Structure 1
């Protein structure tokens, strides 16, 4: 039996049945298989280019460049290697070479200088108030810092003795300063008896050291202020010590190559010391000759001597801080540390300035 040519689904005579139009199929090449990323290698692969510091690149087969996490060269960026340096934009801004915030240090220094200068020029006795507040804070900072080393100096008699030393130095001169210091020492020794014998020698000796180091040396600054030209004498003393800091810092940063005392203060150099001497002489000479009517060599002598005492005072406090394992005596002054971190070079220089100025240019009677 033959089918009819015009029957539905029938093709020409003798052919198989027509199943309809054949759909057009487009062949799409299959993507190449992607091998799983290998674990991080512990060392470089032989023949591979060196790694970029801070990143680890894992090669994968070509064709994965369009996948997330792969670069155009078909390399997977596995992120920073543990222990490598952080990204450049995450590194905090560096401080100055001296290890301080230079902008804050300059701003605080200018503010302190303005207060001191205004008190000396407007009403010199007001300088006593500024000095007294600074010395009292310095005593507290030093006592608290020394406690880190296990020594507990009696604070109450030290504070009372500080006020007594500064007041008697103003009212009774050098004799009053010495008497107040001796009374403070006796008060410290007796006050410490109340805490028993354990650690007595250590604590009592520490208290005597604080009384000698801070209020007694500060009393010489008061003695400089007593004469009629006392404001100029104090200004000569403080300005010269400031010149020591500025000259030493500038010369040390620009030319410092040979450390002076690397185990105590690594940033101090002999080149910085030379800059301190030059700056101190440049500041002291015109003040001594023009402001106090002294000889030129007196200004040179004062400048050179204060450069030495200011540097020794700075190194001495650095030695104390290293022994105690602390960076600063306090945190009151941004960019500087504490009050004692500014008084370290001023305190020993006050005694030397008083003695030299009393000889080079005696105060008016």
Structure 2
């Protein structure tokens, strides 16, 4: 028997050492409160042009600010396309409708209390908003004059409303005179604007209420303006492509205006013909005219807010803003409604 040839050293059996794990990729910053930011440190010697010396400095970063695509974004409150909280807006709108309809249908003089409270609040809101433009309209004579205009319009008609307005303007001029000449023209003009814009135009709603069928007249006026808002909003959201006045109200479109006209005619015509005994063409004319006046009133208040640099006249009504943000289309439409119904459906 021959010995086996020498095949070399016998290898030992064992596990090979595991290779080192690959380096982990850099993780995105998730804590935004203290994010390290490299800041250039002034060199005391001649630094290399390719490798600047840096140090880590802790810089606080707001947790609600988006720094990059890999960072966490804070949740934002969602709103509708109209830029409002639609759930709150619908709820507040329903409550306002109930507050108007109940006294109007049950006891007409009670509607004066609701109207008076809304107009007094609107005067306060507009007076405070004008202070953003450094105009300080005298508030006390405006509030007293508002009550006088509503009361005299109810008891003395159109002549009483005009007399109360003129007395309110005179009171505003005399009241502001006591504060000296500095800014007199600015403040007095602001006071006259408030008296004309809010209580005088609201007085036409009181004149609509005076006749025996006054509840139907006020209902025709308010329902048509609501139709303007709903029709314009729906048509604007669905079809709006051509802005009407982008520098004043970017969301208003000509398509929305067309929807407002159609909705106003559909709402006004049956009320004018059936409830007030007017002709059908009177209802069409009434609807078209109020669509124009309501839109003009809305744009007019938007122009004032743009000039003052504010978004809303107040914060009393969630989803709507202030009382004046709801009265903007109603106030000029009250005067138009009174004049038109005096012709197409006289009391």
Q: TM-score, normalised by structure 2?
A: 0.83
Unmatched 5+ stretches in structure 2: 1-11, 29-64
Residue of structure 2 in register with 1:111 after alignment: 95
1:27-49 CA-partner distances (Å, limit 9, x unpaired): 45144265586799xxxxxxxxx
1:188 aligns with 2:177: no
Residue of structure 2 in register with 1:132 after alignment: 116
Query: Residues 148 and 297 from structure 1, CA distance in 2 versus in 1: closer, same or farther, beyond 3 angstroms?
Result: same
Residue of structure 1 in register with 2:304 after alignment: 320
Residue of structure 2 in register with 1:45 after alignment: none
**Contact 2:297/2:331, CA 8 A, preserved across alignment:** yes
CA distance in 1 between counterparts of 2:102 and 2:119 reads 19
Among residues 152, 155, 159, which one is paired with 2:139 in the alignment?
A: 155
Query: Residues 38 and 283 from structure 1, CA distance in 2 versus in 1: closer, same or farther, beyond 3 angstroms?
Result: closer
**Contact 2:125/2:324, CA 8 A, preserved across alignment:** yes
Q: Secondary structure at the match of 2:192?
A: helix
Instruction: Tell me by how many angstroms 1:194 deviates.
Output: 1.4
Unmatched 5+ stretches in structure 1: 1-23, 41-79
Residue of structure 2 in register with 1:346 after alignment: 330
**Contact 2:66/2:72, CA 8 A, preserved across alignment:** no
Q: Secondary structure at the match of 2:241?
A: coil
1:275 aligns with 2:259: yes
Query: Residues 240 and 85 from structure 1, CA distance in 2 versus in 1: closer, same or farther, beyond 3 angstroms?
Result: farther
Instruction: Tell me by how many angstroms 1:86 deviates.
Output: 6.5
Instruction: Tell me by how many angstroms 1:92 deviates.
Output: 2.7
Residue of structure 2 in register with 1:99 after alignment: 83
Instruction: Tell me by how many angstroms 1:84 deviates.
Output: 3.1
CA distance in 1 between counterparts of 2:23 and 2:325 reads 63
Q: TM-score, normalised by structure 1?
A: 0.79
CA distance in 2 between counterparts of 1:164 and 1:144 reads 21
Query: Residues 27 and 142 from structure 1, CA distance in 2 versus in 1: closer, same or farther, beyond 3 angstroms?
Result: same
Among residues 17, 34, 37, which one is paired with 1:29 in the alignment?
A: 17
1:3-28 CA-partner distances (Å, limit 9, x unpaired): xxxxxxxxxxxxxxxxxxxxx99545
1:210 aligns with 2:194: yes
**Contact 2:227/2:264, CA 8 A, preserved across alignment:** yes
Residue of structure 2 in register with 1:290 after alignment: 274
1:242-278 CA-partner distances (Å, limit 9, x unpaired): 0000000000000000000000000000000000000
Kindly name which structure, 1 or 2, has the bigger radius of gyration based on alpha carbons.
1
Query: Residues 260 and 86 from structure 1, CA distance in 2 versus in 1: closer, same or farther, beyond 3 angstroms?
Result: farther
Residue of structure 1 in register with 2:104 after alignment: 120
Residue of structure 2 in register with 1:82 after alignment: 67
1:33-76 CA-partner distances (Å, limit 9, x unpaired): 65586799xxxxxxxxxxxxxxxxxxxxxxxxxxxxxxxxxxxx
Q: Secondary structure at the match of 1:195?
A: coil
**Contact 2:224/2:268, CA 8 A, preserved across alignment:** yes
Query: Residues 39 and 242 from structure 1, CA distance in 2 versus in 1: closer, same or farther, beyond 3 angstroms?
Result: closer
CA distance in 1 between counterparts of 2:342 and 2:225 reads 18
Task: Output the aligned Cα RMSD.
Answer: 2.0
Question: 4+ residue stretches of structure 1 with deviation over 4 A?
Answer: 24-28, 33-40, 85-88
Among residues 143, 154, 171, which one is paired with 2:155 in the alignment?
A: 171
Residue of structure 1 in register with 2:35 after alignment: none
**Contact 2:137/2:190, CA 8 A, preserved across alignment:** yes
For this pair of structures, how many residues does the alignment match?
300
CA distance in 2 between counterparts of 1:313 and 1:115 reads 23
CA distance in 2 between counterparts of 1:36 and 1:230 reads 80
Query: Residues 99 and 26 from structure 1, CA distance in 2 versus in 1: closer, same or farther, beyond 3 angstroms?
Result: same
**Contact 2:227/2:260, CA 8 A, preserved across alignment:** yes
Q: Secondary structure at the match of 1:329?
A: coil
Residue of structure 2 in register with 1:58 after alignment: none
